[in-house]
């Protein structure tokens, strides 16, 4: 039985909707939302609201920012984390790592998440952006984010039983 699944994809690839479809709609699922609301950004709020609206009523939402590893480690039932890239953005913000300082903290947080995924007994589905298929970012911060997320995705993939890549809404099984 698949216990840990990593769903990767680019922007608007359908990765979140596909990941949601991997878990039972008629049972309780813990949906771990990593995106922080910003009252000054109505477009971001609309995206969050659209995600909420399509979730089954039996699912409960938990908002997690820095404590994601603790939430995953303590999970008892089916758990969906959406998404790792947004979580990493928050970790990099908190560490002040956009210019390269604070990367040790970012990597420790990432390692704690990887170990939590490996240790949990729960069924876990993780959603993350695949950032390695595009152009090399023009800015240092963009390159740092791409590199850190790429390394974190690779480490999570090593701990997952199943790894999927979505392209144009079509899932491809990598493992």
Cβ atoms of 71 and 58 within 8 Å: the answer is no
Active site residues: 51
Cβ atoms of 36 and 65 within 8 Å: the answer is yes
Question: What is residue 2's predicted lDDT score, i.e. its pLDDT?
Answer: 81
| Enclosing H/E stretch for 35 | none
Per-residue confidence in pLDDT tens, the chain, 175 aa: 689 999 999 988 999 999 999 999 889 999 999 988 888 999 988 988 888 888 888 999 988 777 899 999 999 999 999 999 999 999 999 999 998 899 999 999 999 999 999 999 999 999 999 998 888 899 999 999 999 999 999 999 999 999 999 999 999 999 9
Give the bridge partners for 125, in sequence order: 5, 80
Cβ atoms of 48 and 33 within 8 Å: the answer is yes
Question: What is residue 45's predicted lDDT score, i.e. its pLDDT?
Answer: 87
| C-alpha torsion 149→155→158→161, nearest 10 | -60
Q: Are strands 30-33 and 79-82 parallel, antiparallel or unpaired?
A: parallel
Q: Are strands 162-167 and 170-173 parallel, antiparallel or unpaired?
A: antiparallel
Q: Is the pTM of this model over 0.85?
A: yes
Question: What is residue 150's predicted lDDT score, i.e. its pLDDT?
Answer: 97
Tokens of 11: 């922007």
């Amino acid at each position: 039985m698949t216990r840990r699944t990593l769903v990767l994809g680019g922007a608007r690839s359908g990765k979140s909707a596909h990941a949601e479809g991997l878990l039972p709609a008629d049972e309780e699922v813990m949906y771990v939302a990593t995106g922080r609301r910003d009252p000054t950004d109505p477009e971001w709020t609309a995206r969050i609201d659209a995600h909420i609206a399509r979730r089954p009523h039996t699912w409960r939402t938990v908002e997690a920012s820095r404590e994601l590893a603790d939430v995953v480690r303590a999970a008892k039932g089916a758990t969906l984390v959406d998404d790792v890239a947004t979580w990493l953005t928050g970790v990099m913000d908190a560490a002040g790592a956009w210019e390269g300082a604070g990367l040790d903290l970012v990597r420790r947080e990432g390692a704690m998440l990887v170990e939590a995924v490996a240790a949990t007994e729960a069924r876990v589905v993780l959603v993350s952006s695949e950032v390695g298929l595009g152009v090399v970012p023009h800015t240092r911060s963009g390159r740092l984010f791409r590199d850190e997320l790429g390394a974190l995705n690779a480490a999570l993939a090593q701990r997952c039983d199943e790894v999927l890549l979505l392209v144009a809404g079509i899932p491809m099984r990598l493992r």
